[in-house]
Structure 1
Amino acid sequence: MQARARVLRVERGTAWVKLSDKAGGCGRCDEPGGCRSMQITQALGAGKDEFALPLVPGIGPGDDVVISIPDGAALRAALASYGLATVLLVSGAGLGGLFADGRSGDTYALAGGLAGLLLAWATNRVLARSRNWRLGLRMDLAPASACVQGGPQR
């Protein structure tokens, strides 16, 4: 995913940038069959179009830049956050229900579901501290003049 932005200011090794376009991904957002998504802005947070990134040498205030996120990073983050929690919630509730006696089945299912959510929360906390996980979700900043549209040259 890529998005164009403009550098607003530079402070202590940080470039504050503002998105100049809202589209990301393949560029087919408004065409038939396009996903109509604004992937890069969703990955950065709802309604957020100004944020800080580590400064890259040669970039200064007023420069046009391209922000890129590795392919699949947003999907991996969503699956880890929401998918894992959903699977563990349902699995925990199911396992809790298996251990229940006749009258307290809902209580055991509730306890199992909560235990699943707690496990998902703990797993996501560990992932957030993992250097390899964070590197896979990184955002890269490059001067817009250095980016070439299209695939690699052969």
Structure 2
Amino acid sequence: MGRDLDKIDRSILRALSENGRLSIVELAQRVNLTNTPCSERVRRLEKSGHIRGYAALLDLEQLGHGHLTVVQVSLSATGDGSLNAFNRAVKNIPEIESCVMIAGSFDYLLTVRTRDMGHFRSVLGDKINLLPGVLQTNSFAVMEVVKEALDQSAFVG
């Protein structure tokens, strides 16, 4: 990570997390720098890993993937080999939007994006349940997303 982030670095991160399409000119104006030092700071933040990348936020409902399901996964064993095999395999299922390991009564929590319940049922039976070490799954259809962390500026500090 290198050195600590200063106030200007944090301002840059906040501005880019709110709008990743800002030009260097617009960004420099927002953080009260000239273009060259602003550009150098952005490159440094990218190189250090503080900025992992840039992406467009897609409307998955309009793209035909509006059905969201949360799936709890329990594994039959949780040794390093079992966890590593599951971690590698889960990355190959495009319908899995996110996968987090949990400390609790189950091992993983998945969010799964599909067209509809029929498509989800197919993904669950043909892909998720066949992942290495899966003992049990519990699925919960999402009725409404109340809050989504699309703007991560609150985490900049």
Same fold by TM (over 0.5)? Answer: no
Please tell me the TM-score bracket, short chain as reference. under 0.3
TM-score calculated relative to the size of structure 1: 0.20
Q: Quick check: which one's helix share is greater?
A: 1
